[in-house]
Amino acid sequence: MPQSTEISSLTINRLSVYLRGLRALQSQNIQRISSSEMARRFQLSAAQIRKDLAQFGELGIRGVGYDVSHLRQKLESQLGLDREHRAVIVGAGNIGTALARFPGLNSGSFKVVALFDNDPSRIGDDLGELKVSSSQDLKAVVRETGAEMAILAVPAEAAQENYEALADAGIKAVLNFAPVQIKERPETRVKTVDLLIFLEELASTLR
Amino acid sequence: MPQSTEISSLTINRLSVYLRGLRALQSQNIQRISSSEMARRFQLSAAQIRKDLAQFGELGIRGVGYDVSHLRQKLESQLGLDREHRAVIVGAGNIGTALARFPGLNSGSFKVVALFDNDPSRIGDDLGELKVSSSQDLKAVVRETGAEMAILAVPAEAAQENYEALADAGIKAVLNFAPVQIKERPETRVKTVDLLIFLEELASTLR
């Protein structure tokens, strides 16, 4: 199996799209699928799919296609989703609170283990199974829980310093919702969710 | 200029990435950029960039590159972002409230003109310039404001019926935050923001 660093971010995005499709197929009890049928469903080229899957040794059988369940497991393993990833959320405002309650963050590969805020009036608030913790306890909680990932849901002006605190605490990957570019440190990857991209894509369909 | 329907959704995503990069270049007072330098910054191939831009008649000058300001305007026009798009938000919970306050949704090409909820205890709440309106007024408000787009921020089980109400009210494009697949009607495009894709991509970098 190639190292994940050899697989580009665009390929990972496509693998993630395939995985989502395969899960939908499984829920419809579809057991086999050809690359051309996958191409039609995922709006990609069949050649692209065969190339992506061949990279990690997955070859469809001509006339039969791929085994949906097996391919799903291979993709989950390739994407590192065959184990639980613990995450903390920094910022207990509207977005942080919504994410703490988001079902997909508390089942399958991800588990939110703590939610931090620096506003004393919020610390101690109950959010289902979680209580809002003080940002001062970040380092200790990350060490105790073994959290590797974080979601940054703080105002733009506080994003960089909170990213630094997460990196200092040993967090390896950060999903940033603040509308600002974070200066990345080599040991802690950051991905910014830019909601304007989705809106711009939608707007471009309005003529 | 080709019709937007001739340009694939993947191309639109890339144009949106280029546009974001060009805005960053402009803020750094960079006036010209070559396709190879754009490729390096946007992690795409230079050939892909030249192909995408040639589709709408934009050709860089060899040895000089593209004019950043002109190219930005061309992309904004191509993406339909050279005019204001009015949007409504359905669901005044955590996500809806956060989005109503999001700066990018209230400057430039987008303007949130109303926020709806069906919970009587929320109707009338003040959110900066907006008040929460009753979902029963959706049709009238869309007609009065000329809103074309909507953001759907309701629980998964309420998403489809609210999408139908938006389509009935004449909304042409919906950005859905509910973790559920919406059955689309031909006149009203829907795009679902799946936060798990971002987390899965990040998780795949943790080895």
Lowest-confidence pick of A59-63, A172-176, B148-152: A59-63
CATH number of the domain to which A189 belongs: 3.40.50.720
**What CATH number does residue B16 fall under?**
1.10.10.10
Domain of A124, in residue numbers: 85-197
Is the pLDDT at A2 greater than 50? The verdict is no
Q: Is A162 domain-assigned?
A: yes
The residue among B59, B78, B97 that closes a domain is: B78
Q: Contact at 8 Å (CB) between A197 and B20?
A: yes
Q: Given a cut of 90, is residue B146 above it in pLDDT? A: yes
Average pLDDT, chain B: 88
- Number of inter-chain CB pairs under 8 A, A vs B: 169
The answer to whether residue A205 sits within a structural domain is no
* pLDDT confidence of residue A6: 52
pLDDT of residue A5: 44
Tally of structural domains, chain B: 2
**Residue that finishes a domain, picked among A46, A78, A110:** A78
The reply to whether B63 and B103 lie within a common domain is no
Q: Identify whether residues A68 and A103 lie together within a single domain.
A: no
Domain boundary among A43, A58, A78: A78
**Are residue B64 and residue B100 in the same domain, yes or no?**
no
Q: Does A206 fall in a domain? A: no
Distance from CA of A93 to the nearest CA of B (A): 8
Please report the ipTM that was assigned to this predicted complex: 0.81
Pair B93, B60 in one domain: no
Residue B144 pLDDT greater than 50, yes or no: yes
**Residues A147-175, mean pLDDT to the nearest whole number:** 96
Residue of B94, B102, B176 to mutate when probing chain A, most A C-beta within 10 A:
B94
pLDDT, average across residues A85-109:
88
Query: Rounded to a whole number, what is the distance in Å from the CA of A120 to chain B's nearest CA?
Result: 20
Q: Are B76 and B16 in contact (CB under 8 A)?
A: no
| pLDDT (0 to 100) of residue B132 | 95
Residue B106 lies in a domain: yes
Torsion of CA B49, B53, B55, B58, to 10 degrees: -150
Q: Which of residues 59-88 of B touch A (CB under 8 A)?
A: 78-81, 85, 87
For residue B171, pLDDT beyond 70: yes
A115 with A187, same domain: the answer is yes
